[in-house]
């Protein structure tokens, strides 16, 4: 619609997907019982997860079959077409920077100790300043939303000035109380007050003062309701990939782009060669227990 190009394939494809989702929902409703839930208390062979079971159980009181299928399609599209590319780009930036990769792995060990990365709490992961900043920087650099806040395809000439193409900076959204120049806003040029105190003297993540500038989810009443889930998925993906794998990219450049005309994240438009090797997650040494005598 936005490109002004008529298409008949998309509505047909969408109708087919909605019909398949309604068929799946009918099958799951007819065959699921509590005994179907796996021993982990989450998965099952019909709904897939406790979250999906919760949605269908509670939303079915106000949604008819068509509305529920549309809701499921929106979630499937958002999680695959939006979150997956963002998680991949965030992981690429970490894995392609040895010093940043070391910091992420140290953060995992220091914060979560010997807890298996597969069992880490998503909310706890989202509270990490470094992981949160990597997440926010990935969306800042690789998400388009009709607002050209950075040059996407090289330096941008603007009269006698030149706006250089931006680069990834993992610490952009971290404020260090010991460094007055840290954080996403320049205190000398911005009229927005940057918080000068926090409940800890340690560096912390912030989006303060970026309203209207950092808008990967839109804004106002129409802001994406899945933004919290997206952050959990992206940060969890970074932790799992960095914990379990060593990855070597066999390319000097990453050709990026998007064909969505202002919607969603950019991603590689050709295959990227890489080597990957499984690694054992590092463990933090725990001092031996001593027995009082």
**Residue 46 contacts residue 27 (beta carbons within 8 Å):** yes
Q: pLDDT at residue 285 above 60?
A: no
pLDDT digits (tens, 9 = 90+) for 123-138: 778 788 999 999 999 9
**Residue 177 contacts residue 188 (beta carbons within 8 Å):** no
As a whole number of angstroms, the distance between CA 235 and CA 231 comes to 6
pLDDT (0 to 100) of residue 222: 78
Q: Please, which pLDDT band fits residue 147 given cuts at 50, 70 and 90?
A: low
Which of these CATH numbers, 3.40.50.720, 3.40.50.300, 1.10.630.10, 3.30.1130.10, describes 84-278? 1.10.630.10
Range list of β-strands (E), 69-182: 156-158, 161-163, 174-175
Task: Express as a percent the part of the chain with pLDDT over 90.
Answer: 40
Q: Please, which pLDDT band fits residue 293 given cuts at 50, 70 and 90?
A: very low
**272 compared with 16, residue with greater pLDDT:** 16
| Among the listed residues 232, 234, 212, 233, the one whose alpha carbon sits nearest the alpha carbon of residue 223 | 212
**3-state secondary structure (DSSP) of residue 265:** strand
| Among the listed residues 110, 108, 99, 128, the one whose alpha carbon sits nearest the alpha carbon of residue 204 | 128
Q: Please, which pLDDT band fits residue 195 given cuts at 50, 70 and 90?
A: low
**3-state secondary structure (DSSP) of residue 233:** helix
In sequence order, what are the beta bridge partners of 143? Answer: 265
Domain boundaries, the chain: 1-62, 84-278
Contacts of 31 (CB under 8 A, 6+ apart): 46
The predicted model gives 243-266 an average pLDDT of 78
pLDDT (0 to 100) of residue 152: 63
Q: For 36-96, what is the HEC assignment?
A: HCCCCCCCCCCCCCHHHHHHHHHHCCCCCHHHHHHHHHHHHHHHHHHHHHHHHHHHHHHHC
pTM of the model: 0.77
pLDDT (0 to 100) of residue 262: 57
As a whole number of angstroms, the distance between CA 207 and CA 213 comes to 10
Please identify which residue in the block is written with the tokens 């940043």. Answer: 100
**Residue 241 contacts residue 254 (beta carbons within 8 Å):** no
As a whole number of angstroms, the distance between CA 146 and CA 128 comes to 29
Share the mean pLDDT of the chain.
83
pLDDT (0 to 100) of residue 28: 95
**What are 239's two structure tokens?**
């932790």
The neighbour count for residue 89, using CB atoms within 10 Å, is 23
pLDDT digits (tens, 9 = 90+) for 38-64: 998 999 999 999 989 999 999 988 999
In sequence order, what are the beta bridge partners of 245? Answer: 278
pLDDT (0 to 100) of residue 258: 64
The predicted model gives 92-109 an average pLDDT of 94
pLDDT (0 to 100) of residue 110: 86
Q: pLDDT at residue 287 above 80?
A: no
Q: Which of 145-154, 162-171, 217-226 holds the top average pLDDT? A: 162-171
As a whole number of angstroms, the distance between CA 37 and CA 59 comes to 20
Strands 204-205, 161-163: pairing is unpaired
As a whole number of angstroms, the distance between CA 225 and CA 231 comes to 12
């Amino acid at each position: 619609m936005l490109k002004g190009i008529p298409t008949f394939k998309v509505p047909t494809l969408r109708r087919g997907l909605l019909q398949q989702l309604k068929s799946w929902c009918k099958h799951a409703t007819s065959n699921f019982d509590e005994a179907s839930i796996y021993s982990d208390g989450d998965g099952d062979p019909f709904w897939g997860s406790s979250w999906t079971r919760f949605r269908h159980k509670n939303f079915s009181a106000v949604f008819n079959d068509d509305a529920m299928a549309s809701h499921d399609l929106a979630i499937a599209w958002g999680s695959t077409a939006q979150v997956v590319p963002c998680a991949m780009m965030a992981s690429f930036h970490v894995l392609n920077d040895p010093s940043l990769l070391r910091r992420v792995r140290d953060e995992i060990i220091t914060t979560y100790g010997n807890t298996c990365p597969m069992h880490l709490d998503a909310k706890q992961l989202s509270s990490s300043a470094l992981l949160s900043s990597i997440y926010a920087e990935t969306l800042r650099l690789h998400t388009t939303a009709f607002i050209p806040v950075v040059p996407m395809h090289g330096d941008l000439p603007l009269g006698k000035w030149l706006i250089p193409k931006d680069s990834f900076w993992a610490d952009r959204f971290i404020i260090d109380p010991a460094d007055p120049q840290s954080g996403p806003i320049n205190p000398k040029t911005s009229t927005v007050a940057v918080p000068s105190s926090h409940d800890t003297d340690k560096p912390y993540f912030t989006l303060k003062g970026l309203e209207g500038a950092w808008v990967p989810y839109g804004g106002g009443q129409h802001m994406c309701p899945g933004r919290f889930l997206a952050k959990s998925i992206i940060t969890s993906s970074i932790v799992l990939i960095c914990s379990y794998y060593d990855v070597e990219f066999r390319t000097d450049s990453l050709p990026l782009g998007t064909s969505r005309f202002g919607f969603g994240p950019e991603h590689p438009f050709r295959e990227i060669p890489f080597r990957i090797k499984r690694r054992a997650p590092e463990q933090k040494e725990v001092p031996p227990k001593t027995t009082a005598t």
